Amino acid sequence: MLLILLLLLALPVLLVALVLFLVWPGTPRAALRQPFCGRSYAHRGLFGTQQRPPENSLPAFAAAARSGYGIELDVQFTKDRQLVVFHDDTLDRMTSARGGVDSTPWPVVSTLPLAGSGEHAPLFSEVLRTVARANPATPLIVEIKSRYEYKGRYLVELCRAVLGALKNYPGPYCIESFDPRVVRLVRVMAPGVVRGQLVDSYRNHRIYGTAALPAYLLSHCFGNLLARPDFIAWCPDKRNWAIRLCAALGAMTVMWTAMPGHDIARLERDNDAVIFQWYDAQPKYK
């Protein structure tokens, strides 16, 4: 009877210990993350509400770099394994074409005007050259786009290509992803590169159609077991217990995406870095 009682008493402690082990972020690396702290990052470059210049375009990135902002951008493979800077999984919203970016070859993507402008989706190498010319000290937050159906070799080649392209970039850069598998690969391939776990709220996951259990696990950082990220990039929703725990354990906190209607002063106070869109942010706020 005493043994059963002791086991019942120990069970909550073991459960808490297990959750802590799963959610625990990486060991704080203050020197590595210092170049990224206290900065405002232009979301997909400095682009206008009417997509002039368009998001993730060379003029948008050049404008952000010249203004002294950091830059957040999105990278993925085209069908022929060219690294293109493009946010959506499909071409539908930003171009007149239809279909997946990963199922369309670069010679086709390169001819498609972005939002009816004179710009097209650029290669990652073009973006890096453009930003380096405008301001070589510009810090980059590079999101590696991933999908559930991407597996093993594909993810390895995607991460390897991104890391390889960044080797000659003169400024500081870090990598983030919503996919813990991607963040883990960065951890293994480039342990000296700052890595971040993008996290959306449970509510948003459910709105997007994610099943309840995966939505809870993803929104509460259970993928940290794989990734052990340096930073957590969280959405505008109220922080859940896992995000607060990661911050208390020393993870750098990044907010995405601050908009004109948000309490910007509070977001800058509560986060180490802020990804912003459509307002005049301070390039450095700390």
Cβ atoms within 10 Å, residue 174: 25
DSSP 179: -
Give which of 213, 184, 186, 180 is closest to 199, Cα–Cα.
180
247 contacts 253 by C-beta, under 8 angstroms? yes
Classify each residue of 209-246 as buried b or exposed e, where b means 16 or more C-beta atoms within 10 Å of its C-beta: ebeeeebbbbbbbbbbebbbbbbbbbbeeebbebbebb
Question: Among this protein's residues, is 43 annotated catalytic?
Answer: yes
| Cα distances (angstroms) measured from residue 219 to each of 6, 51, 224, 258 | 33, 30, 11, 19
H-helix or E-strand spanning residue 177: strand 173-177
- Label residue 77 left, alpha or beta by phi (over 0 means left) and psi (-120 to 50 means alpha): beta
The answer for residues whose C-beta is within 8 angstroms of residue 9's C-beta and 6 or more apart is none
284 three-state secondary structure: strand
205 contacts 219 by C-beta, under 8 angstroms? yes
Question: Among this protein's residues, is 262 annotated catalytic?
Answer: no
Distance between CA 77 and CA 158 in Å, rounded? 7
Catalytic residues: 43, 87
